[in-house]
Amino acid sequence: MNRREPLIRKMTLDDLDDLYAYASVDGVGQMAGWKPHESKEESQKILDMFIGHKKTFALEYQGKVIGSLGIEQYNEDHFPEFADKKCRKIGYVLSKEYWGQGLMPEAVKEVIRYLFEEVGLDVIFCGHFLWNKQSQRVQEKCGFKHYAFDTYETKVDTTEEDEVNILTREDWQAESVVIRDYDAFDRNEIMNLYTSVGWTNYTDHPQMLEKAYMNSLCTLGAYTADNSLIGIIRAVGDGASILFIQDIIVLPEFQRRGIGTALLRAIISRYPDVYQTELMTDNTDKTIAFYKSLGFTPATEFGCLGFMKLNT
Ligand SMILES: CC(C)(COP(=O)(O)OP(=O)(O)OC[C@H]1O[C@@H](n2cnc3c(N)ncnc32)[C@H](O)[C@@H]1OP(=O)(O)O)[C@@H](O)C(=O)NCCC(=O)NCCS
């Protein structure tokens, strides 16, 4: 096989020559805390360990193995606050010949997808020595965020200053959120959203909620890569003189990641010529800051006052 695209697969005994070829080059392993392999026998031992422990993937490209990605334990002693979460750490190395083509970020993203979607992790750790700017860039490109500075005991008995980065499942999912029309009303998923933010005036009246959805002007949903609905925005009005934002909800665990802003921008962009866009919201610092950041002005500043009559 002579694949042109990078492929993540299990290591096999046939990979010995390729492993030795990149792991024996000076200046590669040192960046990850190990010395260049001095002989094929040494590479054979490492390969046997990779295969036996089943925690290391091969990165195959153009028909040969050019690197590896390992799934390891994170330092549980240093980070006990993650004890109730399912976490692992990713490590990686790439043949020097192939640096600078974006191959490792692509491979790491694929391993991240596997770890969140198929293994069901909550958090992925990834670290780099402070001076290893190349690895720092890989982690930035893959969405990891700074968590702590730490020390790392290398395989050659030295201690390195390490930056520890993490990627949470929610941050990863939020990165890949898409917004699209919500047109097939599903009572359970909608009730789940409204319940999550405690909007009982809707959840106590599910038939009103369903009718409201049927008669709305426009409803958009925010979906994760695995197609779960994590946010909604619903507008009523005539779409010419008035667009009234009736509901906007983002599941609490996905809030503060820009999804509410994206939903609001998306619905407004559907009606670029509408005369006035209105909404009624709780009078809290959080909501005021949110709507002001999107260009809304309190009605009182237009010399207006909102009135309401509730059918209780
Ligand atoms: C870290 C490593 C996997 C990066 O893989 P990669 O596929 O080259 O990653 P990228 O192509 O995205 O390049 C990352 C950064 O490396 C730097 N870089 C690229 N080509 C380079 C080269 N030939 N020499 C030195 N640095 C280079 C650039 O700063 C680049 O960032 P940019 O894209 O913003 O300019 C690779 O350098 C490597 O295997 N290093 C040795 C092992 C190691 O450090 N492992 C991680 C331990 S934490």
27 lines ligand 1 (CB under 6 A): no
Ligand 1, atom 2, residue with closest C-alpha: 135
Residue after which a domain boundary falls, among 131, 158, 173:
173
Domain with 298, as residue range(s), is 177-302
Question: Is pLDDT of 2 > 70?
Answer: no
Give residues with Cβ within 8 angstroms of 150, minimum separation 6.
Answer: 75, 78, 127, 161, 162, 163, 164
Question: Measured in angstroms, how far is the CA atom of residue 105 from the centroid of ligand 1?
Answer: 9
Is the torsion defined by CA of 11, 14, 18, 23 positive or negative? Answer: positive
Question: Is pLDDT of 4 > 70?
Answer: no
Long-range contacts of 209-216 (CB under 8 A, 24+ apart): 210/185, 212/246, 213/185, 214/185, 216/246
159 and 250 part of one domain: no
75 and 191 part of one domain: no
Question: Measured in angstroms, how far is the CA atom of residue 1 from the centroid of ligand 1?
Answer: 27
Question: Measured in angstroms, how far is the CA atom of residue 137 from the centroid of ligand 1?
Answer: 7
Ligand 1, atom 35, residue with closest C-alpha: 100
Question: Measured in angstroms, how far is the CA atom of residue 36 from the centroid of ligand 1?
Answer: 17
* Residue 281: CATH number of its domain: 3.40.630.30
- What angle do helix axes 187-196 and 206-214 make, rounded to 10 degrees? 110
Question: Is pLDDT of 14 > 50?
Answer: yes
Least confident of 1-15, 145-159, 208-222, 286-300: 1-15
102 lines ligand 1 (CB under 6 A): yes
Write the pLDDT tens digit of every residue in 48-84.
999 999 999 999 999 999 999 999 999 999 999 999 9
Q: How many domains does the chain have?
A: 2
69 lines ligand 1 (CB under 6 A): no
Is the torsion defined by CA of 29, 35, 41, 46 positive or negative? Answer: negative
86 and 71 part of one domain: yes
32 lines ligand 1 (CB under 6 A): yes
Ligand 1 pocket test, pick from 134, 152, 154, 162 with the greatest ligand atom count within 8 Å of Cβ, gives: 134
164 and 15 part of one domain: yes
Write the pLDDT tens digit of every residue in 181-233.
999 999 999 999 999 999 998 999 999 999 999 999 999 999 998 889 999 99
156 and 210 part of one domain: no
Quick one: pLDDT band at residue 30, thresholds 50, 70, 90?
A: very high
Is position 161 within any domain? Answer: yes
Write the pLDDT tens digit of every residue in 268-288.
999 999 999 999 999 999 899
Write the pLDDT tens digit of every residue in 235-275.
999 999 999 999 999 999 999 888 999 999 999 999 999 99
